Structure 1
Amino acid sequence: MADDPAFDPIEEAQRQWRAHGWDDAAPGMGVVTSIMRAQQLLLARADAVLGDHDLTFARFEVLTLLSFTREGRLPMGKLGARLQVHPASVTSAVDRLERQGFVRREPHPTDGRTTLAALTESGRAVAATAGARLNAEVFEALDLTDAEAEALVALLARLR
């Protein structure tokens, strides 16, 4: 059964949910389980690429966001807001990137309470190299049409 390529374990789980009287929860269980499994698979693909650059996806996102800004720097709080992550996660990512020489902390020029994360030249270079590989090996290799990808992003936006 599990070796049968036509067998879908999530469809079977939904069937079991319904068989056990959880009809109302079956569709949501299928969505959550599908997203979690897809996330595991996609993260493994991204990690395989980024590991060659000694990056995690979280640190890659910080580098890329900084590289997209005009001056290559942003306040730490704004990084967290734009990446939709907890401030502690931003601090941890910036700490590691700073140790790697990809980012440096700078005082804000007009707000003494704010610290900026600033991209270094080596950080800009690794972001570009890793980004090109992620584009080619992960983002462009999803086996979805543009319309399917856009529809999926729109659906997931409702959950986010």
Structure 2
Amino acid sequence: MSSAMDSTGSAWQDGLPYVLWRTQQAVHGRLQGALDGLGVTVTQLGLAVHIDELGLMSASDLSRRFHITPQSATTALAQLERAGWVRRLPHPVHKRVILHELTEAGLAGVADGRARIAAIDGALAEILGGGGKDEIIGQLRKVLVALEGEDPAYEAMWPVVRSSS
């Protein structure tokens, strides 16, 4: 027979790992619901946003930056390509490296996706009340840095040197 309490006397459901996991599941579900009709997942939108912010990127660049496996990045990018959001380009120097850039449809999709995510962000801020959002972000970043360390500055594995013509 198992006990409802853990070794500290707390119920499993009251522990921080469980509450964080449940919260992540709830927020992810709300985010995915907000993206209905856009034709992309939260991960796919995240990759497209990174391409929008950082420029041409390879699947390996994205997997390192987004903390997902290279296979997941490749699969998500293939779906974005099928959706018409990204196109593949050979690296100008390292021809075997494939870079991804947003298409016009991708740029429009990213703008729409950002607006939808901003609405969820606003709803969460309202739930947390004045200053609560900034406080919880700060606390969660503290946990993240303690567990994984600081995010290094981004450097593409295969930088694209643009000519100054």
TM interval, shorter chain, is 0.7 to 0.9
CA contact (8 A) 1:108 1:114 kept: yes
TM score, norm. by length of structure 1: 0.78
CA distance in 2, matches of 1:56, 1:118: 18
Instruction: Name the structure 2 match of 1:106.
Output: 89
TM score, norm. by length of structure 2: 0.76
SS in 1 for 2:81: helix
Please show how residues 27-46 of structure 1 align to structure 2 within 5 Å: 30-46=15-31
CA distance in 1, matches of 2:108, 2:147: 34
Please show how residues 1-160 of structure 1 align to structure 2 within 5 Å: 16-18=4-6, 22-23=7-8, 30-69=15-54, 72-136=55-119, 138-142=120-124, 143-144=127-128, 145=132, 146-160=134-148
Instruction: Name the structure 2 match of 1:4.
Output: none
Q: How many residues are treated as equivalent by the alignment? A: 140
| Structural RMSD (CA) | 2.3
Could you say if the C-alpha distance between residues 99 and 25 of structure 1 is closer, same or farther in structure 2, counting changes exceeding 3 Å?
same
Unmatched 5+ residue regions in structure 2? 149-165
CA contact (8 A) 1:76 1:114 kept: no
CA distance in 2, matches of 1:24, 1:111: 58
Residue 24 of structure 1 and its aligned partner are, at CA, apart by 8.6
Could you say if the C-alpha distance between residues 139 and 153 of structure 1 is closer, same or farther in structure 2, counting changes exceeding 3 Å?
farther
Q: Percent identity?
A: 31
Deviation readout 1:53-87 (Å, 9 max, x if unpaired): 11100100011001112xx3112210110000000
Instruction: Name the structure 2 match of 1:7.
Output: none
Residue 156 of structure 1 and its aligned partner are, at CA, apart by 3.4
Name the structure with the higher helix share: 1
* Moved segments of 4+, more than 6 Å: 24-27
